[in-house]
Structure 1
Amino acid sequence: MKNTSRSTKQYLAIGSMLGLFGISIGVWFFLFQKPKEDVWTDVSVPTEQTTQTTTSVPQQIILVDIKGAVKKPGVYELPINARLHELVNVAGGLTDDAEDRQVNMAIVLADQQLVYIPRKGETVEQTNQTPQAGNESKVNINTASAEELQTLTGIGEKKAQAIIDYRTQNGNFQSIDQLTEVDGFGEKTVEKLRDSITI
């Protein structure tokens, strides 16, 4: 019986020690183990990027046809208000037989204009030239409005519109004689107008 009693006491003692040990563990966790703080990831929310849309105004261009004594005749696109020397450069420059004394390289070009660079020995009525002195009172059939054209003797609304339609479709007049190609204009009519018009 003594052995049984002693064994029981030993078991109780061991149980008490284990209980105290467990309690101690629990107290230690309670006192010293801090709960983990929530970890916040700093995620930068991208703001909506403002795209600056620059409304680019397309550069205005003109189409000009150049023929004659240039290395690369043809139709070229140029910026508005381009000068004839710029067109000649784009066309490869003048040929060796070009008669450049008849050409005003400083003139401002117009859309749908036809430019002819004469060769040596050729005489061409130039649409390339600025109006000469004494032409201020003449009507320029390449630039005149319908109202201005109707100030000419024998030119009514119909014939004025015919001139405008012709130059719109074919470009500026190369010579005054070319006016005979317009509907309603014969050689006699052109001769009557010759002293009143210019190109």
Structure 2
Amino acid sequence: MQKKERTLLLVLLIGILLAGSVYLYGGQDDLQAAQGVVLDQEPAQQPAQAAGKIKVHVKGAVNSPGVYQLPAGSRVIDAIEAAGGSKAGAQLDEINLAQALTDGGQVSVPDQPAEGKQAADQQSAAQAGKINLNTATLDQLDTLPGIGTIRAQAILDHRQSHGRFFQVDDLKQVSGLSAKLIDGLRDKVYVE
């Protein structure tokens, strides 16, 4: 009986080894499939970044803010151009236009500061239709009320000999101009 028991034990051992190897190697594919690893198949479609594309959010002083898909390796300037370019007053010198972009990044183009923009708007509105004392010609100065050709020439002579005007009140230094006449010119002239 000992020989029968050995044979039975040997058959049982070979059966266990076969079952174990089937479980081990046959179950390996199931385990890898559960972990997302697939053997002997083409790779799944990768996200846009692997395909050489990135997505970037562009906001601020651009003509068409939004999310844009760009080629990998793009720079900040490329993102701004994709967003329709920068608006007037955009402070491009405040950002690094050559900086490389990354997928999921953001480009924020700063606008002119509110107080600076407001001051510039007020200045251009205030100067509309006015004459700049530092660039005005004899004919332009002659059109001002109470000036005439002689006083216009005096303003030009003063500007040539003393340099530019820094404020409208500097007209007080010009011979022949009264304080009352200068006050009447304040809404018609400016200094820049």
Q: With structure 1 as the length reference, what TM-score do the two structures score?
A: 0.34
Q: Which one has a larger percent helix, Structure 1 or Structure 2? A: 2
Q: With structure 2 as the length reference, what TM-score do the two structures score?
A: 0.35
